[in-house]
Chains A and B, each alone.
Chain A
């Protein structure tokens, strides 16, 4: 069950953090959590997670700014970003397409599907 992958969950809602923490811990992942983009960015730089799951609307630093900032880091180290958002408009979709290794899930999301997406990405990496 142990698995050396690190998942970072960035969301200002405690229940979303809690659900994803349980989901990934039960599958042997190490889970780190952050409440906003700024905390999240700090953790991404210092702890180098393999998967980042982030909300869009958050205080202090929102998910968009975070993604713009972390996309540059992906040149040196690839990791998966999953954006969870309430509504996705066509411009957002286009914007996500410009980002490297980035998926989105619409809220209400299915935690099981997020796990599936992560495992597919990890499986694809070999």
Chain B
């Protein structure tokens, strides 16, 4: 693995000037390098091998002389994991005339010189290798952080979508699986199982003994008192270390899970599984996954808030409808029916989601302004005086005023204010004509007219649905938008309205019976 290129070149160039040959032997008793093509006759490979062995075992300089004139010596080379090779030098022992500093005992001097020389070489190579290794490690870390950054960039685009959805979660998990190079990525939400989702590499599916419930099991086995949970994650880098985790799959795997949690709200877990035990989950990956989980939790929290707000509006609208119905006994169930008919017309018309929603609120709340009208006028069985009728005619405008503070309903208000306009321009409050009248208001006008004729009023009894439809058709073009009436007829003929009454709204039927008895009295 270690690149000794430069060092080998240095050794080769030392041969002619030092009159010495060099070899490098690895730990595995194999020669890695030799400055001599074939080992010289004087020395057998066996001797070199033995010496390199001795060096590695004794971890120090070794020197020997053969046939009185040839020397063989060596020194261990170390990296941060210990001795990885032996550096050997051999040649003819220098004679007296060659030596520049003659001592009394040349026999003893040569090994010392060689030890010093080899030691310097060894330091040179070791320092070089360490520096190289460090540089490589840094580059490797850099590489990982490039990958993390790339993944983070890709995934944050996914997560920026404002609302949480199955599709968004699926995309997120697929990105994680592909880019973090794991075998499975999953989201586990114990209280919201409809959110649960997993993405799994097909090749590993059968490695789990209970594939269907494996992710549930992985989460359930997390010991609740694991100290690491304070950091909001759990990790097992080798499933063989834990008997329970080991039992889940045939092969050893590693598992990382982080909590999906926003402020004090805990939603669930985001988990990864990999069967590649040559790698471990790195700090960078943990950091990345935690940050993704945090963002995911933020998105879920936002979605929850949004849903809560929507629910709040629905409930508020219901209360308002109850408030009118408590006041005006004749309109009981009327708001809901007008809303139903309007929605059916809206569906036929193919309204956009936004228009459809606005129509939903406008139709159910169209009479909300009646809250501001005295009960004795609303429930008066006799014909109304002009003054009383003028008060009744105030209800669309009053409805608009009541709802004005509710921002979420702003777009529904025009349809409420104008639901008593007439197609020919003779309606109220503004006398708008034809297409000047908001579409929602024209739809509500048809539904409202039909249901009013079909219901009991203080001054008359109820007419049948067929009769009501006939009257609606008569006023098409004058009071009502003929196009909407056409669509209403279509909806009616498909029996959608009657069906709705019978199947979905038994309460409506009861109130109708109640109304009849009131009328008889």
B142 within 8 A of partner (CB): yes
- Segment at the interface with B among A37-45, A48-56, A107-115: A107-115
CB distance A108 to B150 under 8 Å?
yes
- Segment at the interface with B among A16-24, A66-74, A95-103: A16-24
CB distance B143 to A19 under 8 Å?
yes
CB distance B139 to A21 under 8 Å?
yes
Closest chain A CB from B509 CB (angstroms): 61
Closest chain A CB from B272 CB (angstroms): 17
> In the complex, which of the residues B139, B152, B153, B179 contacts A18, with contact meaning CB atoms closer than 8 Å?
B139
Residues of chain B lying within 8 A (CB to CB) of residue A113: 150
B124 within 8 A of partner (CB): no
Instruction: Give CA–CA (A15, B146) in the complex, Å.
Output: 10
Instruction: Give CA–CA (A109, B150) in the complex, Å.
Output: 5
B404 within 8 A of partner (CB): no
List residues of A (1-16) whose CB comes within 8 Å of B's CBs.
Answer: 15
**Chain A residue, CB-CB nearest to B141:** A19
CB distance B142 to A110 under 8 Å?
no
B151 within 8 A of partner (CB): yes
Closest chain B CB from A22 CB (angstroms): 4
List residues of B (129-185) whose CB comes within 8 Å of A's CBs.
Answer: 136, 138-140, 142-143, 146-147, 149-153, 179
Q: Specify the main secondary structure of chain A where it touches its partner.
A: helix
> In the complex, which of the residues B136, B138, B140, B151 contacts A110, with contact meaning CB atoms closer than 8 Å?
B151
CB distance A110 to B150 under 8 Å?
yes
**Chain B residue, CB-CB nearest to A110:** B150
CB distance A23 to B149 under 8 Å?
no
Closest chain B CB from A111 CB (angstroms): 5
Closest chain B CB from A112 CB (angstroms): 6
Instruction: Give CA–CA (A18, B140) in the complex, Å.
Output: 9
Closest chain A CB from B447 CB (angstroms): 48
CB distance A22 to B147 under 8 Å?
no
Closest chain A CB from B6 CB (angstroms): 15
Instruction: Give CA–CA (A108, B157) in the complex, Å.
Output: 13
Residues of chain A lying within 8 A (CB to CB) of residue B151: 110
Closest chain B CB from A3 CB (angstroms): 16
> In the complex, which of the residues B139, B152, B153, B179 contacts A19, with contact meaning CB atoms closer than 8 Å?
B139
CB distance B136 to A111 under 8 Å?
no
**Chain A residue, CB-CB nearest to B149:** A108
Closest chain A CB from B158 CB (angstroms): 15
- Interface flags for B107-146 (1: CB within 8 Å of A; 0: not) read 0000000000000000000000000000010111011001
Instruction: Give CA–CA (A108, B144) in the complex, Å.
Output: 12
Instruction: Give CA–CA (A25, B7) in the complex, Å.
Output: 19
Residues of chain A lying within 8 A (CB to CB) of residue B147: 110-112
Residues of chain A lying within 8 A (CB to CB) of residue B150: 108-110, 113
- Determine which residue in B140, B150, B179 has the highest number of CB atoms from chain A within 10 A of its CB, and name it: B150
**Chain A residue, CB-CB nearest to B135:** A18
Instruction: Give CA–CA (A110, B180) in the complex, Å.
Output: 11
Residues of chain A lying within 8 A (CB to CB) of residue B139: 18-19, 21-22
**Chain B residue, CB-CB nearest to A21:** B139
Instruction: Say yes or no: A22-B136 contact (C-beta < 8 A), given A110-B151, A110-B179.
Output: yes
Instruction: Give CA–CA (A110, B150) in the complex, Å.
Output: 6
Instruction: Give CA–CA (A18, B149) in the complex, Å.
Output: 16
Instruction: Give CA–CA (A5, B2) in the complex, Å.
Output: 22
> In the complex, which of the residues A19, A108, A109, A112 contacts B142, with contact meaning CB atoms closer than 8 Å?
A19
Residues of chain B lying within 8 A (CB to CB) of residue A110: 146-147, 150-151, 179
**Chain B residue, CB-CB nearest to A112:** B147
CB distance B146 to A109 under 8 Å?
yes
Residues of chain A lying within 8 A (CB to CB) of residue B152: 108
Instruction: Give CA–CA (A19, B139) in the complex, Å.
Output: 5
Instruction: Give CA–CA (A23, B142) in the complex, Å.
Output: 11
Closest chain B CB from A92 CB (angstroms): 18
**Chain A residue, CB-CB nearest to B147:** A110
Closest chain A CB from B297 CB (angstroms): 24
Instruction: Say yes or no: A22-B143 contact (C-beta < 8 A), given A108-B153, A110-B179.
Output: yes
Residues of chain B lying within 8 A (CB to CB) of residue A22: 136, 139-140, 143
Closest chain B CB from A50 CB (angstroms): 22
Closest chain B CB from A82 CB (angstroms): 14
Instruction: Give CA–CA (A8, B228) in the complex, Å.
Output: 45
CB distance A15 to B153 under 8 Å?
no
Closest chain B CB from A105 CB (angstroms): 9
Interfacial residues, chain A to chain B (CB-CB below 8 A): 15, 18-19, 21-23, 108-113
25 CB-based A-B contacts, threshold 8 Å:
A15-B142, A18-B138, A18-B139, A18-B142, A19-B139, A19-B143, A19-B146, A21-B139, A22-B136, A22-B140, A23-B143, A108-B149, A108-B150, A108-B152, A108-B153, A109-B146, A110-B146, A110-B147, A110-B150, A110-B151, A110-B179, A111-B146, A111-B147, A112-B147, A113-B150
Interfacial residues, chain B to chain A (CB-CB below 8 A): 136, 138-140, 142-143, 146-147, 149-153, 179
Contacts beyond the supplied A22-B143, A108-B149, A111-B147: 20 A-B pairs with Cβ under 8 Å: A15-B142, A18-B138, A18-B142, A19-B139, A19-B142, A19-B146, A21-B139, A22-B139, A22-B140, A23-B143, A108-B146, A108-B150, A108-B152, A109-B146, A110-B147, A110-B150, A110-B151, A111-B146, A112-B147, A113-B150
